[in-house]
Amino acid sequence: MSALVPQALSIRLQGCAKTFRDGTRALESLDLSISAGETLVLLGPSGCGKTTTLRLIAGLEQPDAGGKVFFDDTDVTTLGIEARKIGMVFQSYALFPNMTVAQNVGYGLRILKMPKTEQQVRIREMLAMMRIEALADRRIDQLSGGQRQRVALARALAVRPQALLLDEPLTALDARLRDALRVEINQLLRSLGITTIYVTHDQAEAMALGDRIIVMSHGRVEQIGTPREIYHQPGSAFVANFIGSMNQLRGVVTPQGFTCSAGCLNWDRSGVAERVLFRPEDVSIVTSSEFAELTGVVKASFFMGDHTRLLVDVGDEAPITVLDDARCPQAVGQKLYMRVAPLGLMSI
Amino acid sequence: MAYRKILFGMQLGLCVLVCVFLILPMGLSVIAGLTNNYFVGLDSGLTLRWVLEVWGGYHDTIFRSVWIALACVFVTLIIGVPAAYVLHRSPQRLARWLEELLVLPIAVPGLATALALIAMYGGWGNLRSSWLFILIGHVLFTLPFMVRSVLAVLGGIDLHTLEEGGASLGANFTQRFFHIVLPNCRQGILAGALMVLTLSMGEFNMTWLLHTPFTKTLPVGLADAYASLRLEVGSAYTLLFFLMIVPLLLLMQAIAQPRQKKFELVEDEVVILLSESAKS
């Protein structure tokens, strides 16, 4: 399979900002390097500039004056998308309704003026890779969402692009299909070793696919890191709250630890902290007050299937979230004793 | 149940009544064209005499009308399709204004447009006596039908993203236009072309003023025949016109069938345009 991608490409953005004609600042000046073969995920809520960044890399948008885009060491800033030799998968797939599946997949080859017989071979190869050989002669409006997704990927990869850009490719699909295709795309990208930039607002997708994740908000990069870094060492309050669920307690650092309204946490780090953050999975429920660091009252309980999610009032602004047993959870109104794993504590 | 049946019966009755009201004159006209003596009635016997007479005397107007209609389709295709594409892509308010302005030749009475054309270009060389003069009038009148019809289809597809998709696969503007844009507006282009063809063929208002004795079109000849010859001859002429136009209309319907969803838009546009043209 790796023969599909002759040579992976490294991509570099240098001082790329984007202001739209109506004056909207979509992207603040951005410097970014993507190494060859890497899968980079741009993650953030809508309007955060992630799609704009992707379109700058694709050549669908031009950066403001001064910004430059490099493919390896070549400056491609002024090149249009036609000349950048990248594969792109659009959120709406952008499949051509006037062509069959096979014609869609072969369109890039037709533009390259590849001999017909070679085109046929390549098309069959791509359809086989995406396991949609049976659909070759279908019209696009005869395909399901998941099938369209596969055709779009096959079409983008057929020309053996230097890099693959995906703009929210799974957003239009229902949850089950999204999970299945996520796994499939992950395997595909790993086996191809192609440089990939993947835009999504879904953190689970980002975690599963990305070698590195860039979290963006309001046209700015909040944090760049591996999924583990982003999850366990969020660089800002925004990242902490955007990725997964996060509990927050206000208090002061005392000789005993971090003291808050619900108790005292084991805090031996130097420096001042006005609030600490920790994830629900780092909270454990203990049976007696003797070992408890925090005390609270269960306010609400949600059965999630594999666990129960408790909202616990600890006298702070917002209740904290605690994970509990699926079969015999604590009752609402019950007093709860908790400990927090010291490694799970963060301050920002 | 009984109530619904009565209601259905009444609706059917009204429908049949309206159809009879509209179709009967046409049927009579056809029969008149095939009858030996209309005032005597069918007893006088059926004949093709009048049809042949019309063919002998007026076949040049028929060929001219077909020729002008085809030329009109050609010109509106060349101008109208790119115009619709540009209007669709252009976000400016100016584009919306232009779109509205395009409809003016339909809203303004054909006679007024024709007078303006004659006043302005009547003295240009031999233009006044050329069939091209009529073609210009017809293009003015039919262009909005082509543009609107293509625009309606364009409004129903996300052409911008499709083009970006094409570009990402290396296609340049020309390739995108011919591989992606045109095939995806095929429905609108076909509908527009047939509409232009039939409208041009039947156009009388403007042509009445624009024509010269050497550039008579079918509808003008028809008016002549009714005004100066026997009723049977005029009717035979009408019959010939039907023979030409009905297949076209049927074809239009046939094209409208397969992709109902996209066509609803086109039909809405057509209804608006027709009601506007009825005003003039």
Does one domain contain both A303 and A319? yes
How many beta carbons lie within 10 A of that of residue B60, not counting itself?
A: 13
In a domain, B172, yes or no: yes
Contacts (Cβ under 8 Å, ≥6 apart) of B93: none
Residues of chain A in contact with residue B165, where contact means CB-CB under 8 angstroms, are 88, 90, 93-96
Q: Do A90 and B161 touch (CB under 8 A)?
A: yes
Over residues A2-42, the pLDDT tens digits come to: 445 557 889 999 989 899 888 888 888 889 999 998 999 99
Instruction: Please compute the mean of the pLDDT values over residues A37-57 and round it to a whole number.
Output: 91
Q: How far is A93 from chain B (nearest CA, A)?
A: 8
Q: What percent of chain B has pLDDT over 90?
A: 17
Does one domain contain both A80 and A136? yes
Residues of chain B in contact with residue A86, where contact means CB-CB under 8 angstroms, are 168
For residue A82, the chain B residue with the least C-alpha distance is B170
Mutation for B interface: A22, A91, A107, most B CBs within 10 A: A107
pLDDT at A213 over 60: yes
Q: How many domains does chain A have?
A: 2
Over residues B39-70, the pLDDT tens digits come to: 777 777 777 777 787 787 778 888 888 888 88
Residue B212 near residue B128, CB atoms below 8 Å: yes
Hey, what amino acid is at A42? L
In a domain, B236, yes or no: no
Q: What pLDDT sits at residue B256?
A: 64
Does one domain contain both A235 and A254? no
Does one domain contain both A69 and A102? yes
Write phi, then psi, for B4 (nearest 5 degrees): -65, -35
In a domain, B144, yes or no: yes
Q: What pLDDT sits at residue B277?
A: 52
Which of residues B86 and B222 earns the better pLDDT score? B86
Does one domain contain both A70 and A181? yes
Q: Do B165 and A94 touch (CB under 8 A)?
A: yes
What CA–CA distance (Å, rounded) separates B123 from B116?
12
Q: What pLDDT sits at residue A51?
A: 92
Q: Do A156 and B168 touch (CB under 8 A)?
A: yes
ipTM of the complex as predicted: 0.82
Q: How far is B108 from chain A (nearest CA, A)?
A: 37
Indicate the average pLDDT of chain A: 88
For residue A154, the chain B residue with the least C-alpha distance is B169
Q: What pLDDT sits at residue A65?
A: 87
Per-residue tokens: B130: 């050329």
pLDDT at B124 over 50: yes
Does one domain contain both A230 and A291? no
Q: Do B170 and A108 touch (CB under 8 A)?
A: yes
Does one domain contain both A322 and A223? no
Residue A230 near residue A216, CB atoms below 8 Å: no
Long-range contacts of A296-302 (CB under 8 A, 24+ apart): A296/A262, A296/A320, A296/A335, A296/A336, A296/A338, A297/A333, A297/A334, A297/A335, A297/A336, A298/A330, A298/A331, A298/A332, A298/A333, A298/A334, A298/A336, A299/A332, A300/A332, A301/A329, A301/A330, A301/A331, A301/A332
Over residues A230-265, the pLDDT tens digits come to: 998 888 889 988 888 899 888 888 888 888 888 888
Residues of chain B in contact with residue A159, where contact means CB-CB under 8 angstroms, are 169-170
How many contacts, defined by CB atoms under 8 Å, are there between A and B? 61
Instruction: Please compute the mean of the pLDDT values over residues A134-138 and round it to a whole number.
Output: 89
Q: How far is B197 from chain A (nearest CA, A)?
A: 25
Q: Do B162 and A94 touch (CB under 8 A)?
A: yes
Q: What percent of chain B has pLDDT over 70?
A: 91
Which of residues A63 and B232 earns the better pLDDT score? A63
Q: How many domains does chain B have?
A: 1
Q: Is B77 exposed, middle or buried (0-12, 13-18, 19+ CB in 10 A)?
A: middle
Q: Do A85 and B169 touch (CB under 8 A)?
A: no
Q: How far is B174 from chain A (nearest CA, A)?
A: 11
Instruction: Please compute the mean of the pLDDT values over residues B212-233 and round it to a whole number.
Output: 79
Domain boundary among the residues A241, A266, A285 is at A241
Q: How far is B279 from chain A (nearest CA, A)?
A: 38
Q: What percent of chain A has pLDDT over 70?
A: 98
In a domain, B176, yes or no: yes
Q: What pLDDT sits at residue B209?
A: 80
Domain residue limits at B144: 66-215+242-279
In a domain, B137, yes or no: yes
Q: What pLDDT sits at residue B265?
A: 40
pLDDT at B37 over 80: no
Over residues A284-328, the pLDDT tens digits come to: 998 888 888 889 999 999 998 889 999 999 888 889 999 988 888
Over residues B132-181, the pLDDT tens digits come to: 888 888 898 899 999 988 988 888 888 889 999 999 999 999 999 999 99
Q: What pLDDT sits at residue B164?
A: 93
Q: How far is B172 from chain A (nearest CA, A)?
A: 7
Q: How far is B185 from chain A (nearest CA, A)?
A: 10
Residues of chain A in contact with residue B259, where contact means CB-CB under 8 angstroms, are none
Across the interface, of A60, A87, A111, the residue whose CB is closest to B164 is A60
Does one domain contain both A178 and A224? yes
In a domain, B29, yes or no: no
* CATH label of the domain that carries residue B147: 1.10.3720.10
Q: What pLDDT sits at residue A6?
A: 58
Tell me which residues of chain A have a C-beta less than 8 Å from any C-beta of chain B.
Answer: 58, 60, 80-83, 85-88, 90, 92-99, 107-108, 111-112, 155-156, 159
What CA–CA distance (Å, rounded) separates B25 from B19?
11
Residue A101 near residue A132, CB atoms below 8 Å: yes
What CA–CA distance (Å, rounded) separates B26 from B237?
12
Q: What is the DSSP string of chain B?
A: -HHHHHHHHHHHHHHHHHHHHHHHHHHHHHHHHHEEETTTEEEEEE-SHHHHHHHHHHHHHHHHHHHHHHHHHHHHHHHHHHHHHHHHH--SHHHHHHHHHHTHHHHS-HHHHHHHHHHHHTTSTTGGGSHHHHHHHHHHHHHHHHHHHHHHHHHHS-HHHHHHHHHHTT--HHHHIIIIIHHHTHHHHHHHHHHHHHHHHH--HHHHHH--TTS--HHHHHHHHHHHS-HHHHHHHHHHHHHHHHHHHHHHHHHHTTTHHHHHHHHHHHHHHHHHHHH-
Q: Do A82 and B164 touch (CB under 8 A)?
A: no
Instruction: Please compute the mean of the pLDDT values over residues A112-116 and round it to a whole number.
Output: 91
Domain residue limits at A319: 245-344
Over residues B246-280, the pLDDT tens digits come to: 888 888 777 766 554 443 444 444 444 455 555 44
Does one domain contain both A309 and A172? no
Across the interface, of A80, A92, A159, the residue whose CB is closest to B169 is A159
Residues of chain B in contact with residue A97, where contact means CB-CB under 8 angstroms, are 157, 184
